[in-house]
Structure 1
Amino acid sequence: MKLFLLSALGLTVQGCTNILVTPEASTSNEAMIAYNADSASLYGSLYHYPRTEGGGSRDIYDWDSGSFLGSIPEAEKTHNVVGNCNEVGLCIGETTFGGLEGLCATFPGSKVDYGSLIWLTLQRASNAREAIKVMDNLMQTYGYASEGESFSITDAKEVWINEVIGKGTYEKGSVWVAKKIPAGYVSSHANQARITTFEWDDENKAMYAHDVMSFAQKIGLVTSADADRSTFSFSDTYDPVTFEGARFCEGRVWSFFSSVMGPDFEKEYVDYASGFNLTNRMPLFVKPADKISLTDVFSHMRNHFEDSELAFDADVGAGGFGAPYRWRPLTWEYGDDTYVNERAIGTQQTGWNFVASVRPSMPTPLQAVIWFGADDSATTVRVPFYASSTELPLSFVGKGPQDGVVPPMMTFDTNSAFYVTNLVSNWAYSRWSDIYPVVLARIEKYEASFIAQLHEVDQKVLALFNNGQEVEAVNVMNTFAQKLGNGFTEQWFGFFGELFVRFRDGYDITANSEDPECGCTVGGQGYNDATYKRIAEETGEQYKEPADSLKVRSFQPKNKLKVRGV
């Protein structure tokens, strides 16, 4: 067998998380996919591609680097696309798994990277199965120019995972396998290929590249003796699980599955999720005991391994306020040993995130709603936008490197949803246990309000569509998008001001109209008990006050916080 090295996680530019929910597994019969676009260099914009007609040429730029890859013919007609959904109810997300290093190199002249593959497909395809075929055609015709990717693809009826890897410098194109998530089940993927064996003779369950196994034989990954359809595993062949693949990637899937399956699942697979038993692989999909709502999915995307064996909000790295965050890099060294920082679903380097909801009960132009949030999925509010909208709020909409545009990452702007949400999240990171409960309560309040408002607008646009007034219906969608998006950005900046006023200088300062000095009450509990315990144990006598020290004091103020200099 030829030598192939696993690509290091560091080579994967974006480390993302996807959650997939079939309509039959949701409380409202909606198909849903959730997506975190995780990269420190990714600016949180809502991309918009209007309908086009007439064909022509399309320039392709790499989403990660912004480099020009070439031009391809544009489709004669394209769909309107808002974020990662199109106007006919198709939505696509992704996570990068990299795969074997020998296949990460791009075949010369390849033109379609994974980001362009998403938006080209959304513009050209009308349902999940067609999307898989469009992706295949684009990759084989123009060449695939990225590392290994797992794509989440949904329409109003079906949810699929499509896992793709290029052929390195051997050939143009890619090999891939797509599996349908069964009705009533949920799935997830997070930077590790997860499809193992699959159904070769049932297109209702699986689709695949014609040479997915023969290519592996050709380059020596599979011997002729091992070329057995019943045992051939896409993941084990093209992206074998390593310690880091399990701990950093599959661990996030485990945290979601454990949340919906319960403690027995959590215990059964914790050795795998922690990276110490790579043979105990989790299933590709699970059937939760209870159906999952839209707000449940919002909550799952805020997961930090809370109350599990991988929880990391109580050790020294969490600081004095129990922050479930670790600043990069993911691995670090002390002495001769290498250590890891946990990688949770909610993470600081997210550029933007969404939960896409596709509603089969609605007419096609009203089916797809993308709940879009800038920045960390644990600290932002997701704002709903119809995928048929043609005008979007200036505080959200923007172009990216895949458009050949450098986004305004280095320009601070309080009219930008990305920077306003960053203000709130970064302030919360500083005193997590104090500030985050306040942030979460406000998030849930906004999202509940947005759900109610969306329901009201649904009735208006539905009536217009049923009356044949499509243009008027789209105008209502546009007004809704602009009012909600720009209004949220302005209000969230005001919320940051509230947080700053309240949680300033280590205090918790609340309004008190009866106080004549500042109109406020100054409080605050300092650090938590675990932190004080650690300080006492690690420093010994350094900060310890003598037991009889209070005896020499002639005066003790009733409220130390209000004495100047105390």
Structure 2
Amino acid sequence: MRKLHLFLLSATSFFSHAGACTMIAVGRNASVDGSTLVAHTDDAGYGAADLRLVRVPAQDHQEGAKRHVYNPSPGYPRLVTTQRGPEYEPKSGEQVMTPLGDIPQVPHTYAYFDQDYGMMNEVQLSIGESTCGGRTVGWPKDAGPHGYNLFGIAELSKVAMERCDSARCAVQTMGDLAVQYGFYSEDSGDPAKPDYVAAAETLGVADRYGEVWVFHVLTGPQNASAVWAAQRLLDTHVTVVANGFVIREMDLADPDHFLASANVHSFAKEMGWWEPKLGKPFDFTAAYASPTPDPVRALYMGRRIWRVYDLVAPSLKLDSRLGHYPEYPTYPFSVQPDRKLGVADVTDLLRDYFQGTPYDLSKGLAAGPFGIPMRWAGDEKNVVGGWERPISMYRTVFSFVLQARAYLPDDLGGVAWYGQSSPHASVYVPFSCGQNGVPQAYVLGKESEFTFGSAWWAFSFVNNWSMIRFDAISKDIRARMSDLQAKCFAARVAMEEHVSKSHSLSGSDTRAYLQEQSNELASRVVEEWWAFAWKLVGKFTDGYITTGEAPEEMQMPGYPAWWLKLSEFSKWPGKTLIPPPVEWLQKQLEEFESRQNTSTNLLSRQSAWGNSVLSSVSDPIAQISIGAIVGTIIGASAVWFATERQRRSGYRPIL
């Protein structure tokens, strides 16, 4: 038992430091319209993040040019360089960052959306990320004597964005660069105490040709180079990665569906992680994922996998309790959904916190009286345990669904549905993959400074305000969110129909039109969300729900009965009151009655009830306690309520 406790503590401390994002991907024939979809929640909220959604422009490069490779800063600014367009150029007080090294540049690089990782480029290449555990660990070149490696997953994904139009190209390019120049995880920890449970990475990669691949990568031998593998998602399937590898048996003789580094078998055999002589087929996850010795990690990963699969394919009736263990499969690499999915279905997956299941985070004592589904991380004071880990959580900085369509031109086919802060209270706005910039609201603001007008702060503020009274405020949020989300979906359809009918539009005209319309829509959503935020402030303050100026338009719903019974309320006053003699209390009741002629009926009922209770109790101590409560508290309260009713006609009192 003591060993289990230690495992539990180490697992929860890991999840206080790793990025721990969720990635979901949908094959083209599993979607309603032939789209490939890649979704990602960026949950790296354990330090201030750079909130900017940056558009890196397309560029032409001279022969012999070098492409700098950086170890991005975890805060603001993530990058300061002259190589990635105006948004990353040095501003007042900023210095150009020193690269870890460089690689040969190519003649032309594509434009793309960039935040922590490369997201989507102008030719519809789409990437979503999830940090995973691995058996190896590596550090960047600037980490001292242990730093052998040039590439982290952020820069790998951005090189893929710059150079590739297909998922297969992206996988091969990232894998080759990782092997040649070395891969490190940005969550590898201190070389004196490596963090293996966050030492590897997974990307979901989709393209305009209808392919989706899952790419795993970790550091190779001697804390250098890399090992990687990739599996193509079946066109009719959905997959999810929740901070653990999912690729298992691989047929490397089938490059249409499997790709890997040349050392994928040999390194595992060398380290004793795979023994072919035992007759077992090679299993990438069993060989290379960090072991899962405790239930916290197993459920941290496995419950999200189950949840996604149970929502899209409930007919499978998968068991929610299996967890995720590298040593043996519990859930499949992918599943065929019971029905085809659209963008709206995937955004619903991202907004999930186990609603309607036994693991619903809005239920139970930890949710408090108002059903808050957030569970903070932090110092656990050596208390053994854990919380359920949902897809939508308090530390989600941003999330997206990337839509690529083979049957449409790039500007129309590629859409980044982008939202900020916790997905369960965010609106996903559509940005065309070919547009050259985003609204100022999406590059404005820092986590350390409340910034009015910032898109992130609009959604983060509402998310935080909702925790004042989540059960009530979340209803308003869901209604407003649903309304704006429907308008965003309708607006994108209208944009595409307009372009399709306007045969005279050139490619540049189409791009300009989509950028203008998309940015106006996104700006309008931010403005309306700020207006909505101030309405919530006025409506939900000081425990009241105020909808107007009439007396009956202010209510105080109080606390739910189940919570009152569990709290000190039901035990109060207990032994905290020493009441006066019963005779004195009786005298006070008589004086109340004589002074309150205007409320005779009400007071006589209360007095009669109090007298009957007093006369029915024989024990003197019980008489004193009940008399004190009945005579002083109930009697006085009755007088007060009667007076308040007269003073504020129409006000709904809380009894």
TM-score (norm 1): 0.87
SS of the counterpart of 1:95?
Answer: strand
Q: 2:71 aligns with which of 34, 58, 62?
A: 62
Give the letter aligned to residue 522 of structure 2: G
Name 1:103's counterpart in structure 2: 137
Q: Structure 2: how far apart are the matches of 1:126 and 1:468?
A: 24
Name 2:371's counterpart in structure 1: 322
Q: Structure 2: how far apart are the matches of 1:124 and 1:35?
A: 22
Q: Give 1:306 shift.
A: 1.7
Superposition CA RMSD, Å: 3.0
Q: 1:432 aligns with which of 470, 478, 503?
A: 470
Name 2:582's counterpart in structure 1: none
Q: Which structure 1 segments of 5+ residues have no match?
A: 399-406
Deviations 1:40-62 (A, max 9, x none): 23233212111000152332222
TM-score (norm 2): 0.76
Q: Give 1:342 shift.
A: 1.7
Q: Is the 8 A contact 1:150 1:162 kept in 2?
A: yes
Q: Is the 8 A contact 1:383 1:450 kept in 2?
A: yes
Cα 1:220/1:414, change in 2 over 3 Å: same
Q: Give 1:378 shift.
A: 1.3
Name 2:86's counterpart in structure 1: none
Name 1:161's counterpart in structure 2: 214
Higher share in helix: 2
Q: Give 1:88 shift.
A: 1.0
What pairs with 1:32-181 in structure 2 (closer than 5 Å)? 32-40=37-45, 41-55=48-62, 56-63=65-72, 65=74, 68-83=99-114, 84-100=119-135, 102-105=136-139, 108-146=147-185, 147-156=199-208, 157-167=210-220, 169-172=222-225, 174-181=226-233
SS of the counterpart of 1:370?
Answer: strand
Give the letter aligned to residue 353 of structure 1: S
Q: What is the aligned residue count? A: 538
Cα 1:193/1:245, change in 2 over 3 Å: farther
Q: Structure 2: how far apart are the matches of 1:504 and 1:168?
A: 58
Q: Give 1:314 shift.
A: 2.1
Q: 2:322 aligns with which of 248, 259, 272?
A: 272
Name 1:389's counterpart in structure 2: 435
Q: Is the 8 A contact 2:183 2:224 kept in 1?
A: no
1 or 2 for the larger relative contact order (CA 8 Å, sep ≥6)? 1
Give the letter aligned to residue 459 of structure 1: E
What pairs with 1:438-457 in structure 2 (closer than 5 Å)? 438-457=476-495
Q: Structure 2: how far apart are the matches of 1:530 and 1:32?
A: 43
Q: Structure 1: how far apart are the matches of 2:326 and 2:650?
A: 53
Name 2:34's counterpart in structure 1: 29
Cα 1:332/1:261, change in 2 over 3 Å: farther
Cα 1:345/1:332, change in 2 over 3 Å: farther
Q: Structure 2: how far apart are the matches of 1:104 and 1:237?
A: 17
Q: Is the 8 A contact 2:184 2:218 kept in 1?
A: no
Cα 1:360/1:347, change in 2 over 3 Å: same
Cα 1:62/1:539, change in 2 over 3 Å: farther
Q: Structure 1: how far apart are the matches of 2:431 and 2:246?
A: 31
Q: Structure 1: how far apart are the matches of 2:31 and 2:476?
A: 28
Q: Give 1:143 shift.
A: 1.8
Q: Give 1:503 shift.
A: 0.6
Give the letter aligned to residue 66 of structure 2: S
Q: 1:360 aligns with which of 406, 413, 431?
A: 406
What pairs with 1:139-538 in structure 2 (closer than 5 Å)? 139-146=178-185, 147-156=199-208, 157-167=210-220, 169-172=222-225, 174-223=226-275, 225-226=277-278, 231-239=281-289, 240-242=291-293, 243-262=295-314, 265=317, 268-273=318-323, 279=328, 281-329=330-378, 333-334=382-383, 338-397=384-443, 408-463=446-501, 466-467=503-504, 469-511=506-548, 515=550, 521-535=553-567
Q: Give 1:537 shift.
A: 8.5
Q: Is the 8 A contact 2:499 2:505 kept in 1?
A: no
- Give % identity: 23
Q: Structure 2: how far apart are the matches of 1:81 and 1:277?
A: 34
Deviations 1:179-221 (A, max 9, x none): 1111211110111111121222211221111211101122333
Larger radius of gyration: 2
Cα 1:113/1:541, change in 2 over 3 Å: same
Q: Structure 2: how far apart are the matches of 1:448 and 1:428?
A: 22
Give the letter aligned to residue 239 of structure 2: S
Give the letter aligned to residue 324 of structure 1: P
Of 10-19 and 469-478, deviating more is 10-19
Give the letter aligned to residue 283 of structure 2: S
Q: Structure 2: how far apart are the matches of 1:10 and 1:64?
A: 20
Give the letter aligned to residue 32 of structure 1: L
Q: Is the 8 A contact 2:16 2:377 kept in 1?
A: no
Cα 1:247/1:436, change in 2 over 3 Å: same
Q: Is the 8 A contact 1:269 1:281 kept in 2?
A: no
